[in-house]
Amino acid sequence: NPHHKRSPYLLPYSIIDDSIKKINRDTASETVKTLLSYGYTIDTPTGDIEDLNRRNKDVKDNERMSNYRTYRAEKTFSVTRGKWYYEVELLTSGRMLIGWGHASNLSAFYSLGTDSYGYSFDGLNARRFHHNTYDRFGKQWTKNDVVGCMIDLHDKTISFSLNGELMLDNYGNETAFDGLDIDEIGFVPAITSFSGQKARFNFGQDVHSLKYFTSCGLQEGYEPFCVNMSKNATFWYSNFIPRFIPIKSNSSSFEVIRIGASRDDPPLIKLQSRLFGTLEKVEFEFLRLSLPISCHDKFVPRQVTLERRQIVLNEYLESHAEKHNFIFLSKPTTPSSNEQTESSTTDKSQSDSANPLVKFTDQSTSRKSPLSIMSENKSNAKSSTKKFNSFFQSLLKEQQPPTKRMVKLNIDPNTTNINQQNQLQSALKPPIKPSNNTMTGKSTNENDTEFNDQQTNDYEDDDIRIINEHVHDYYYAIRILPGQNPRSVFIGWVTSRFKPINRQYDTTINKLTKLIRHCTITQTGDDGSIVESIRRQDAYMFCAADLLDNIIDKENVTRHVVNGLLIGCLCDVSTGQLTFYVNGKESTQKFQVEPSTKLYPAVFVEPTVKEVLQFELGRIKNCLPLTAALFPSLNREERFIPQLPSRLHFQYLVHSHWS
């Protein structure tokens, strides 16, 4: 009945009649007076922030309670035994939290006493504060008062004094906290100062400078905290600038598993959530690798890089052919190539006529000229070629370990000056590793694809071993394991300046615009035309689900998601282009960065399953693994081999730290 404001159910307090509100207040007041008359003590609710705002006269009503900074002493000054004392002189009468904290686990994000590792006294509200629990203790302080802080590690107690007088709780106990959990690191003095508050520490380097030590502390057997110290104690403060720190083995959020390379799989770092499936809330995490790659100071066109690769490859093939004094024909070539090959073979037969290894071959064949051999019938040519190949293979087995083979480098067919070298390359190509596939003319459809989603340790399908010094493409991949929601995964690169715009608690509908800072700098001419436009941002990320939705032939790509969705990230440091791949298919979404940009491989994720994702450090064709860019000191024989160095590890973003 809204007209008479009657209902058998609970109603919002705002629509209750004022007379009813007054009756309720009067009844509650009488109840409180009755309880107090019987000797009961009534405290305000635990962590009542509104009450603290009302009672803090120096803090405006609209000021956030997070405007504070915590200070603590250096860990090397921590105490593990004995009885210690220090004083704090209040230069303002506002809210501060004074006390002690665990040197090893005291959080920089929370105020002193919010967690279980801090013990503090709030003199503005006359309360003690520990593990986010307030209790009435002592009395209120005023400006210029002196608070004494005492810790007894023998009895495991903490006490406070005000102007030389021990403060008591409502039951007359002098101990503020007891039953301390003492570890091997110990305790250090700590204080949380809210906005606009000032205080002066006195750790007793000069015992005579302590004002109330003789009144309360000396007789009880306490010692000044900095007794017999000539230098001032070093203090750390809570810094609220986010930064990345390594994920430790005892992390409460994630478990990191490092797996080395196998025959079929690249080295990888697997990430598992320790909070999923528990009562703890799973948070959105910002993760990255610990080492960056750097783009070149000056970019060059992609075509120039491809031409350099082709030149190096041709030079290697020519020098390799001259080293063995003959050239092997793997397939029919152009007339010009045949002439060069025939001439080289003729010189070979003449110069090695006395060589016993040459005499070991068929004598009838060796006495014939190369031109006559080429003009014989098809069956005789095949027979001669087989014998020649058999000798060539046995010779190479003694000179080279048959562990690698090379096939033609796949590049853009429209590239200038490249088609001119194709015929020469096919004529000069030596079969470095004997293989049935090579000798029988295996189909090259698989090799014609420049990139694929298989990151194995078979590096015999491209020429990366020869041209790796001129390859500037570095690759890594994130495999989103089955069950993890791709909408909650963002993959790409971050700069060293990255920090989220604000801390997001509801991340299920977050967009990158809420997480990444970006700006566009545009230079215009006198006529208003755009001369140059540069977009700068501190992260280059894409949502995994968006990459999958925008891929061409999505249905064909999604068929291969049995083992998880594989998102590949490729960075060309010579051009500054960032390319993304979805299960081996190149995405149309790309980024362009500026020269000299440092990029960290990164992933933002909110776990929706226990096994979240894995960071794969393999490579794809004609690209180098990420470790080649992270460790430039690797020699050319190690650069193209994916590795998992011990220095490379996962880092996560913390929103505060000690400085």
- List pLDDT tens digits, range 571-585: 999 999 999 999 989
pLDDT value at 49 more than 60: no
Do 50-239 and 254-296+466-658 come out as alike in CATH topology? Answer: yes
Angstrom distance (rounded) from CA 273 to CA 256: 9
**Lowest-confidence pick of 84-98, 141-155, 445-459:** 445-459
pLDDT value at 446 more than 60: no
Q: What is the pLDDT of residue 3?
A: 67
Angstrom distance (rounded) from CA 135 to CA 175: 13
Q: What is the CATH number of domain 50-239?
A: 2.60.120.920
SS3 at position 152: strand
Domain boundaries, the chain: 1-42, 50-239, 254-296+466-658, 315-440
* Mean pLDDT, residues 69-82: 94
The pair of structure tokens assigned to 491 is 């993959």
Angstrom distance (rounded) from CA 78 to CA 187: 5
Q: What is the pLDDT of residue 88?
A: 96
156: left (phi over 0), alpha (psi -120 to 50) or beta: left
Q: Which residues contact 548 (CB under 8 A, 6 or more apart)?
A: 486, 554, 557, 558, 565, 582
Q: What is the pLDDT of residue 277?
A: 83
Q: What is the pLDDT of residue 315?
A: 87
468-520 pLDDT, tens digit per residue, is 888 999 999 999 999 999 999 999 999 999 988 765 444 444 567 678 888 88
The pair of structure tokens assigned to 375 is 């003009």
375-404 pLDDT, tens digit per residue, is 444 444 344 444 444 444 443 444 444 443
Phi, psi of 59 (to 5 degrees): -115, 130
- pLDDT interval class at 12 (50, 70, 90): confident
Q: Distance between the two ends of the chain, CA-based, in angstroms?
A: 61
pLDDT value at 129 more than 90: yes
pTM of the complete model beyond 0.85: no
Name the CA radius of gyration of the chain, rounded.
Answer: 37
**Lowest-confidence pick of 175-179, 360-364, 626-630:** 360-364
Question: Average pLDDT over the chain, rounded to whole?
Answer: 78
| Other CB atoms within 10 Å distance of the CB of residue 567 | 25
Q: Which residues contact 225 (CB under 8 A, 6 or more apart)?
A: 73, 77, 79, 84, 85, 86, 189, 203, 204, 233
611-656 pLDDT, tens digit per residue, is 999 999 999 988 999 999 999 888 878 888 999 999 999 999 998 9
Give the residue from 347, 329, 346 showing the smallest Cα distance to 338.
329
Q: What is the pLDDT of residue 473?
A: 93
Dihedral (Cα; 296, 297, 301, 304), 10-degree rounding: -70
Angstrom distance (rounded) from CA 47 to CA 55: 13
* Mean pLDDT, residues 534-555: 88
DSSP secondary structure code for residue 169 in this structure: B
- pLDDT interval class at 4 (50, 70, 90): low
Q: What is the pLDDT of residue 289?
A: 96
Element containing residue 23 per DSSP (H, E): helix 18-37
410-430 pLDDT, tens digit per residue, is 444 444 344 444 444 444 444
Angstrom distance (rounded) from CA 231 to CA 226: 9
Angstrom distance (rounded) from CA 552 to CA 564: 19
pLDDT value at 333 more than 90: no
Vertex 603, ends 597 and 609: CA angle to 5°? 175
Fold of 254-296+466-658: Jelly Rolls (2.60.120)
* Mean pLDDT, residues 309-334: 69
